[in-house]
Amino acid sequence: MDTLQREFDAAWAGFQTLDSLRLLPDTLEAEWMRGRDSYLAFLCPVTDPSVVAHLHEAVRSIEGIPGVEAYPEDYWHITVKGIGFEVEAPAQPDDVAYADIAGIAGVAREIFAAQPTFDVGIGPLSAFPEVVFAEVQNSVPVRDLNRRVLEVMPGLVRYPFDGETFLPHISVARFTSDEGLPKLKETIGRLRNAPPGPSFRIAEVQLVRAHLSERAPTLEAIETYALG
């Protein structure tokens, strides 16, 4: 069994007990309404053609369910570590000063250069209270990179899902209402019996700026780090 599979199974079991979802107005992406609209993160883009085709097929199975809003293909990624919101003068724990970004980018070069490339596999769909996602199997190196970033840059915000509980995944949809929750549970449960998806190699990590708006975030690559 994949090292993280028990945790993925627990996440799916937990989702099946939910009576309501965490809807868009209450998620990180709603921060544009509170004056912050530029979020920094380290992530691995998902562009492998076989993976993209597989995810498109999976998304087609859920995108007609009421309250489910699919993310566009150019948003698909595996997060390594969320950094925080770009601001002139930090006032909250997840704020990052513009003046500090170059230093963060420089430290990251050494972290990612020390990590060899590795292969991951696309597992079945699952869900957290705020998103539908595809499991990323054999992804212990992603969790290790998350922990390494936290160790080397302790000044970065530490979210509850970072470190030992970090579970690599690819978000493919978010929620706008609870209306389709029973149908969503049934559909994902059925899809989880399908064979796993393709594997692909992680050879780089990007530092990106996510522009938040009423629509799905758009990602702007600031720097690309080749793995060792």
Query: pLDDT per position in the chain (228 positions), as tens?
Result: 578 999 999 999 999 999 999 887 676 655 554 677 899 999 999 999 999 999 999 999 999 999 999 999 999 999 999 999 999 999 988 999 999 999 999 999 999 999 999 999 999 999 999 999 999 999 999 999 999 999 999 999 999 999 999 999 999 999 999 999 999 999 999 999 999 999 999 999 999 999 887 778 899 999 999 999
pTM: 0.95
Distance CA 123, CA 120 (A): 9
Q: Please give the biggest Cα pair distance in the chain.
A: 49
Distance CA 58, CA 51 (A): 11
- How confident is the model at residue 31, as a pLDDT? 57
**Domain coordinates in residue numbering, the chain:** 5-226
Handedness of CA 120, 196, 27, 4 (dihedral sign): negative
Closest CA to 83 of 208, 211, 170: 208
- How confident is the model at residue 80, as a pLDDT? 98
| CATH fold for the domain made of 5-226 | Cyclic Phosphodiesterase; Chain: A, (3.90.1140)
- How confident is the model at residue 2, as a pLDDT? 76
DSSP assignment string, the chain = --TTHHHHHHHHHHHHT-SS---GGGSGGGGGGGT--EEEEEEEE---HHHHHHHHHHHHTTTTSTTEEEPPGGG-EEEEEEEEEEESS--STTEEEGGGHHHHHHHHHHHHHTSPPEEEEEEEEEE-SSEEEEEEET-HHHHHHHHHHHHH-TTS---TTSGGG---EEEEEEES-STTHHHHHHHHHHHTTSPP--EEEE-EEEEEEEEP-SS--EEEEEEEEE--
Distance CA 105, CA 103 (A): 5
Distance CA 146, CA 162 (A): 7
- How confident is the model at residue 213, as a pLDDT? 73
Chain position carrying tokens 């705020």: 130
